Structure 1
Amino acid sequence: MTRNRPDVVEALPLVEVDAPGAPPGCRRRLVETARLHWSIGDGGDPADLAQRFLAAHGVDRDDLARPGRHDPDAAVCGAALYLSAAAGAYAIGVSPGAPSPAPALPDLVVVVYHHTDRQAAPRPPTPWRLGPWRDSWTPAAHADAVGAVRAAIARGDVYQVNVVGHAAAAYTGDPLPALTRLAALPGARYGGTLHGPGWALGCASPETLIAVEHGRLVTRPIKGTRPATAAGRRDLLASAKERAEHVMIVDLERNDLARVARTGSVRVDELFAVRRWCDLWQAESTVSAAPADGLGLADLLRAVCPGGSVTGAPKHAALARIAALEPVGRGASMGALGWVGPDRLDLGLTIRTAAADGDLLHLWAGGGITWDSDPAAEVAEAAAKAAPIRALLAG
């Protein structure tokens, strides 16, 4: 853990906060006052560490059923929170999988911000060059992993597993402006950045991992993808395979929320709605529940992380397959990124996410595998998800 100094807010440097979910009216009048970095090798429970660190710095989320209030004139505004997929698995006692290809990136980051009356200046532009992308596995190896999941399904070990690939490219210059551009992608509900010493990540995610909205816990799993054409939309709506895969994940999310919800309050508010992200149609559902009395942030994170749409069903068995099959860790991808304030919680799932570490830029993409999956089609789908991000990062 690191603590910024000095403690006098007026003496701290201004920052323009770009974390997803940060209050829009506050973003250019904030100073960072405290920061927690944690990695799996540090030991302890990351979910509990996050909750206790936030409470110690004025953001008490020990009871999410108790409404809070954001006061733009108060000292504390809120905090950016990032939790890696590996940390989510670790917190529930499951293997975090292969080592991350971006080891400088922590597995948990919490950054607390205070209001100030000053205004942050925009970040000056710098030269930027991105080299060719190098994939961590070949299309054939990716297809073999799809085949291995299908074999596990045939044995009855799992029903569905999300398989993710990785690519890296060398760069020169400041990566943060390039990562910031990701927020401009159409459908980037959780567009934003977070950075620290020697690392930065940028997100263009359309998917809500967990939020508290109007007193209810809300998750919006996305599962099912087609090209954003009229024919692609018809095909997605008509696909029995995509609908079955989607409903399976909705059921998983219902079960996850039921563990931390008031009895009988879980409901599916919207099922298989087709929405657009860049040049793709995607199917999204909304599942919500009333939080149980006394539900704290730590218990909620352990219930929903890693997200069901990027793991599979059953979740623990799917995570075991992921750890065995994926040669490279998920790093910044498939985790949680967003904002925790006195009045709100809004965390996106870090799909469509890139990270810079040292001299390399990293990107991850994948998809859910069922018995009906075609290996070549799954490889093509992952490439289609990565293509808009690769193009924008090249700049």
Structure 2
Amino acid sequence: MTGDTGWASFAGRIATDAVECVDVLAEPERLTTGTWFVVADFEAAAGNRSGTGSQGRARAWRFAQVHDAEAPPATTWNGPAPDAWTSSMDQTTYEAAVDRVRAYVREGDVYQANICRVLSAPHAGPAGAEPDAWALAARLAAGNPAPHAAAVHVPAASGLDPVWVVSASPELYLSLRDEPGGIGRVVESGPIKGTARDPDGLTDKDRAENVMITDLVRNDLQTVCRPGTVEVTSLLEVEVHPGLVHLVSRVRGVLSDDVARSGELWRRLLAGTFPPGSVSGAPKSSALRIIRELEPVPRGPYCGAVGWVADGEASLAVGIRTFWWADGVLRFGTGAGITWGSDPTAEWHETELKAERLVSLASEPR
């Protein structure tokens, strides 16, 4: 897909002709009408600032045209060489970070913290142009289909704030819809904790971690929902994805009337629930402090939110299994949840498991 006006793909639809970009935290009321594509950096939340100086942004682009997905023109993704990728933390550094989190657990500062590393490779399109995001999205859709896959590319030539994100996320951060029967506006989240190559590889540590984070998400939703409406609708379900399995739970609630009718709906939702609990930790405030201490680079849209808002409804994914490109560098994040029961080497291998298929798809064949 080409053109200077930008495009996004989500939920079996294509949006084209980006016409404006807004700061979601500064102008949340703008998302109440029209079709918007949202990309929120992990560092966007107040009190969640990276020690590298990155403040993070939560932005949304409005698109003039939305239609059902059509077969795109044939394009070829030309990715970086497999050996071009480098990691923000090598194995020794990552395992030391795991040990540090375990020490914080022993000291009673935190129960769980998600520790991530960012893979990066120099990359550009033909003649130094921006890479073809559509081609990568199509390759991921064929090789690693995901329930919350999404992509957005608004090039610098559009005159708008540019963005380049391609996501194969399996995880729901927030969905928002009007429930039939006058119940109200329902918000739902689907935290993932627990990853293995097959169901037999899931451990008691995975299950305990999932329950812990599900409880955190339940508490987050209670800050924006009517009392008594927040419930866990499924717990510890095994979901099969290409090359691995996840433990997934579901939490839902009915938005309180003051939040649902507020022009600051999205400011309130993000203030109460962002960043997602599954990629931060519990307690969230302590986990974020530890993440700032141990991670050497900002996460950006990885572990943030990627998705769409359209006329009062929304579906935002946790920005995992996500590539983003800027300044001639293609990036991809991977991480693991660390608890007292974590084995440092096993957690490193979990980050490799989560990255290997997707990074392989994004790289040129050997």
Q: Which amino acid aligns with 1:310?
A: V
d(CA) in 2 for partners of 1:120 and 1:273? Answer: 33
Show the 5 A alignment for 1:140-289. Answer: 140-173=92-125, 174-180=131-137, 181-196=139-154, 197=156, 199-213=163-177, 214=179, 215-228=185-198, 233-236=199-202, 239-289=203-253
Q: Which of residues 316, 340, 358 in structure 1 aligns to 2:327?
A: 358
Task: Give 1:27 shift.
Answer: 2.2
d(CA) in 1 for partners of 2:39 and 2:6? Answer: 18
Other-structure match for 2:297: 328
Helix, strand or coil: the match of 1:330?
Answer: coil
Q: Which of residues 52, 55, 80 in structure 2 aligns to 1:98?
A: 52
Kindly indicate whether the alpha-carbon contact (under 8 Å) linking 2:76 and 2:135 is maintained by their aligned counterparts in 1: no
Q: Which amino acid aligns with 1:326?
A: E
Q: Alignment length, in residue pairs?
A: 337
Other-structure match for 1:87: 44
Task: Give 1:128 shift.
Answer: 2.3
Q: Which amino acid aligns with 1:314?
A: P
Helix, strand or coil: the match of 1:158?
Answer: coil
CA gap of 1:126–1:276, structure 2 versus 1, over 3 A, is: closer
Show the 5 A alignment for 1:30-69. Answer: 30-36=16-22, 38=23, 46-47=24-25, 49-55=26-32, 59=33
Task: Give 1:182 shift.
Answer: 2.6
The one-character-per-residue Cα deviations of 1:56-106 (angstroms, maximum 9, x if unpaired) are: xxx1xxxxxxxxxxxxxxxx4x11111111002x3xx34334355xx9xx7
Q: Which of residues 85, 105, 109 in structure 1 aligns to 2:59?
A: 109
Task: Give 1:31 shift.
Answer: 2.9
CA gap of 1:126–1:283, structure 2 versus 1, over 3 A, is: closer
CA gap of 1:99–1:169, structure 2 versus 1, over 3 A, is: farther
d(CA) in 1 for partners of 2:187 and 2:206? Answer: 25
Task: Give 1:323 shift.
Answer: 0.1
The one-character-per-residue Cα deviations of 1:189-222 (angstroms, maximum 9, x if unpaired) are: 2212122326511100000001114331100000
Other-structure match for 1:317: 286
Kindly indicate whether the alpha-carbon contact (under 8 Å) linking 2:77 and 2:136 is maintained by their aligned counterparts in 1: no
Other-structure match for 1:125: 75
Query: Cα RMSD over matched residues?
Result: 2.5
Kindly indicate whether the alpha-carbon contact (under 8 Å) linking 1:82 and 1:108 is maintained by their aligned counterparts in 2: yes
Q: Which amino acid aligns with 2:134?
A: P
Q: Which amino acid aligns with 2:292?
A: A
Helix, strand or coil: the match of 1:373?
Answer: coil
Helix, strand or coil: the match of 2:306?
Answer: strand
d(CA) in 2 for partners of 1:184 and 1:341? Answer: 26
1:303 and 2:258 aligned: no
d(CA) in 2 for partners of 1:145 and 1:372? Answer: 14
Task: Give 1:122 shift.
Answer: 4.2
Task: Give 1:292 shift.
Answer: 0.4
The one-character-per-residue Cα deviations of 1:140-167 (angstroms, maximum 9, x if unpaired) are: 0000000000000000000000000111
Q: TM-score, normalization: structure 2?
A: 0.85
The one-character-per-residue Cα deviations of 1:96-122 (angstroms, maximum 9, x if unpaired) are: 34355xx9xx722211122489x9994
d(CA) in 1 for partners of 2:66 and 2:305? Answer: 27
d(CA) in 2 for partners of 1:109 and 1:323? Answer: 22
d(CA) in 2 for partners of 1:199 and 1:175? Answer: 12
d(CA) in 2 for partners of 1:122 and 1:234? Answer: 39
Kindly indicate whether the alpha-carbon contact (under 8 Å) linking 2:221 and 2:230 is maintained by their aligned counterparts in 1: yes
Show the 5 A alignment for 1:9-48. Answer: 16-18=7-9, 20-21=10-11, 24=12, 27=14, 30-36=16-22, 38=23, 46-47=24-25
CA gap of 1:110–1:355, structure 2 versus 1, over 3 A, is: same
Kindly indicate whether the alpha-carbon contact (under 8 Å) linking 1:175 and 1:200 is maintained by their aligned counterparts in 2: no
Which deviates the most, 303-312 or 172-181? 172-181
Q: Which amino acid aligns with 1:33?
A: V
CA gap of 1:84–1:311, structure 2 versus 1, over 3 A, is: same
Kindly indicate whether the alpha-carbon contact (under 8 Å) linking 2:173 and 2:316 is maintained by their aligned counterparts in 1: yes
Kindly indicate whether the alpha-carbon contact (under 8 Å) linking 2:209 and 2:339 is maintained by their aligned counterparts in 1: yes
CA gap of 1:367–1:158, structure 2 versus 1, over 3 A, is: same
1:385 and 2:337 aligned: no
d(CA) in 2 for partners of 1:116 and 1:391? Answer: 31
CA gap of 1:381–1:178, structure 2 versus 1, over 3 A, is: farther
CA gap of 1:165–1:31, structure 2 versus 1, over 3 A, is: same
Helix, strand or coil: the match of 2:18?
Answer: strand
Q: TM-score, normalization: structure 1?
A: 0.79
The one-character-per-residue Cα deviations of 1:262-282 (angstroms, maximum 9, x if unpaired) are: 010010000000002211110
Other-structure match for 2:262: none
d(CA) in 2 for partners of 1:169 and 1:279? Answer: 23
1:375 and 2:344 aligned: yes
Helix, strand or coil: the match of 2:227?
Answer: coil
Helix, strand or coil: the match of 2:245?
Answer: strand
